[in-house]
Amino acid sequence: KNEKGDRMLYVVGHKNPDTDSICSAIVLAHFLDAYPARQGDLNPETEFVLRKFGVMEPELITSAEGKEIILVDHSKKSQSLDDLEKGKLVGVIDHHKIGTTTSEPILYYAKPVGSTATVIAELYFKNAMDLIGGKNKELTPDLAGLLLSAIISDTVLFKSPTTTDLDKEMAKKLAEIANMGDIDAFGMEILKAKSVVGKMKPEEIITMDYKDFEFNGKKVGIGQVEVIDVSEVEDKKEEIYKLLEEKLKNEGYDLIVFLITDIMKEGSEALVVGNKEIFEKAFGV
């Protein structure tokens, strides 16, 4: 509690935040009367979305101390606040596989859909926010716009294999509230905002969407950059590869896979450093 006696309840997404992590935190905090937070700088796409709907960026937090925490869009410790155990984890709202265990019971609500925003939107449209401790209050057009943007971003305009019918249904309903008539046109605007990689430095491109994983005690890094046209990164590929090799050595990775994904052609090129054999075996290339 702060000096006013309010609950210090924070909603926060994962490190290297993406649009789903930021927008889901903002909207869920609205329904829970909590503080929205972020664990890092906004990427250009998220900046574009917040500017478009005139919503302020959430507060940057680096510590859980003295806070009650609700995680959105992740539950893995490696993607969360480093000192999470110093605060009180009270809930997770997510669309990934379960990534944590807790010593006490917590609120845990996840669905295998394309985005966390989809999960939140469904709770709203079913008038079921109370099921996760929230209030059934209004979803304003700006907040509906944020959820719509997050769905579009995470599903790459419904092209990603993680896309479900629920994502499309929620996007349609959200677009009505947000007064976004043409979802496809708005979607292309978002994807283009993401696609500023042509102007970015290789080291920025690598960290834009990058996560650490542990598989059987092996440290694996997976990064991805999505482009509308592969030519945007063609001349930077060599330097990206060199930086990945350095990262592998300096940070003790077993394997790093970096994907350059062409969202229009719906395919990826993988830059692989470290234990390449395992990747070759898995993909037969």
Give contact residues for Mg ion (rule: CB under 5 A): 18, 20-21, 73, 115-116, 154
Nearer to Mg ion, 18 or 167 (CB): 18
Q: Which of 29, 2, 30, 1 minimizes the C-alpha distance to 13?
A: 29
Nearer to Mg ion, 52 or 95 (CB): 95
From the CB of 181, what's the least distance to Mg ion, in Å? 25
Encode burial over 255-279: b for 16+ CB neighbours within 10 A, e otherwise: bbbbbbbbbeeeebeebbbbeeebe
From the CB of 20, what's the least distance to Mg ion, in Å? 3
From the CB of 23, what's the least distance to Mg ion, in Å? 10
- The residue nearest Mg ion at its CB is 20
Nearer to Mg ion, 26 or 273 (CB): 26
From the CB of 178, what's the least distance to Mg ion, in Å? 19
Q: How far is CA 159 from CA 33, 50, 191, 222, in A?
A: 34, 23, 12, 20
From the CB of 63, what's the least distance to Mg ion, in Å? 21
Nearer to Mg ion, 116 or 149 (CB): 116
Q: Which amino acid is at 144?
A: A
Task: Please give the DSSP secondary-structure letter assigned to residue 85.
Answer: G
Cα–Cα distance measured from residue 73 to residue 26, given in angstroms and rounded to the nearest whole number: 12
272-277, Cβ contacts within 8 angstroms, sequence gap of 24 or more: 273/241, 273/244, 273/245, 273/247, 273/248, 274/248, 275/218
From the CB of 123, what's the least distance to Mg ion, in Å? 16
CB 275 within 8 A of CB 254: yes
Q: How far is CA 196 from CA 48, 208, 229, in A?
A: 11, 11, 11
Nearer to Mg ion, 108 or 241 (CB): 108
Nearer to Mg ion, 21 or 195 (CB): 21
